Amino acid sequence: MTELLVDKEIEMLKRTVHGLIRDHVTSAEHSPGKYVKGLPDEVIDQLQTIARKSGLQALGAKREWGGAELSLVVRAILLEEASQHRLGLFHPAADAYGGEFPSFLEKCTNEQIEMYVKPAIKRGKGCYMAVWEEQEDNLLENLSTSAVKEADEWIINGQKAFIQHMDQSAFGVILVNCLSEDGMGQPTLFLLDHDESMVKTETVLIDVQTTHNLHFNHYCIHDNRRIGAVGEGDRLVKQWLAEAQIELAAKSIGIAVKALEYGKQYAKLRITRGKPLAEFPSIRTMLAKAVINLQAARLIVRDAAKKIDNRETDADLSAQMAKLLAIDTAAKIIDDVLQIHGGAGFAGDLPIERWYKEIRIARMNLQKSETIIDRVAETIL
């Protein structure tokens, strides 16, 4: 049961997160006079030590596992705050709060929790998801990676693509189709070790994010690493997908908030044609609409998070719409702020160029915008 917090407690947590970003993360990202693309492990360890003192570690994981066990609504609020820095979209608070853990890990056995989940939380690591494939187009029903059972083992063949946060994770979860005797596929989840026998390839996306592909050729995995029942994987992954879309949406709002702050500051300082940019109607309209659209995105994200917490029937569709609106809003704001800065926006001193690239990747993460729009259309036509 996630902990219910009153508004006053949430505000205290927000201030704690804000203080960590202001006092420690921002300065770490600007090590001696040069902005970095990633932080060294020893710096992340120091940040995690500070975060643990505030009780904020593995935000959504159960307390009995070592996590903070916060509701998705509270996590969305804190992730918006934690992402307001250079590396914040994909590494909120520079990974000070450890990795993310899908709620479906509750289906793990006690032995699996002790072997995989608890050690990962203790080390400040997370769990990566090996779900998507290069050809499935964000549609779970098109997945082709399969497994056949032999005695107490499953033999996996296939490939998984676009895996994020693999280097920051202690273990992974893979979705495969377990083939029955009649050849029917039953989507099922298994735990993955960091196994050297797996063939792994690396891809860098627009020079700001590293993803991995995994290739399985008669890869053996014991049945005791199965999560839940055979055939339950589709439902569990959809549960994770809804949560992950809310978290990504909240982080997107966070970087947009920071980008807007940069835009307002620069518009007041930059003098052109004898007056500050902030006095031109086009710039004023641009910034004012950004504030309005951010609030709208924030409200839809928190409403969807509440529905997921309450397990309402339309929660997954609400999460998809929240992700779509939040990322489109963030993309427009970042694009506008880059336009306000002109060439200075590409100089590298500010993270606007990085966010411009990252938000483009985020639009395709988890589920593409077109997939979400098609799903919404199906509900009304």
- The neighbouring-strand residues paired with 175 are 189
Kindly report which listed range (11-15, 198-202, 222-226) carries the lowest average pLDDT score: 198-202
What are the φ and ψ backbone dihedral angles of 132, each rounded to 5 degrees? -80, 160
Round the CA-based radius of gyration of the chain to a whole number and report it. Answer: 21
Q: What is the pLDDT of residue 148?
A: 94
For residue 377, what are the contacts with CB-CB under 8 A and spacing of at least 6?
A: none
Q: What is the pLDDT of residue 349?
A: 76
In the predicted model, is pLDDT for residue 33 greater than 60? no
Determine the 3-state secondary structure of 28 from DSSP.
helix
Most confident stretch, 4-8, 147-151, 367-371: 147-151
Closest by Cα among 100, 95, 94 to 120: 100
Q: What is the pLDDT of residue 380?
A: 87
Q: What is the pLDDT of residue 265?
A: 93
The band of 1, judged by pLDDT with boundaries at 50, 70 and 90, is: very low
Rounded average pLDDT over 181-208: 83
Rounded average pLDDT over 321-331: 97
Q: What is the pLDDT of residue 369?
A: 87
pLDDT digits (tens, 9 = 90+) for 119-164: 999 999 999 999 999 876 667 778 889 999 999 999 999 999 989 9
Distance CA 208, CA 5 (A): 35
Structure tokens at 179: 């083939």
Q: What is the pLDDT of residue 136?
A: 64
The band of 343, judged by pLDDT with boundaries at 50, 70 and 90, is: confident
DSSP string, 49-115: HHHHHTT-SSTTS-GGGTS--B-HHHHHHHHHHHT-STTTTTSGGGGTT-----GGGGGS-HHHIII
Q: What is the pLDDT of residue 224?
A: 95
pTM of the full predicted structure?
A: 0.93
Q: What is the pLDDT of residue 63?
A: 94
pLDDT digits (tens, 9 = 90+) for 225-258: 999 999 999 999 999 999 999 999 999 999 999 9
In the predicted model, is pLDDT for residue 327 greater than 60? yes
Delineate the domains of the chain, giving CATH numbers in brackets. Answer: 7-122 (1.10.540.10), 127-233 (2.40.110.10), 238-380 (1.20.140.10)
The band of 187, judged by pLDDT with boundaries at 50, 70 and 90, is: very high
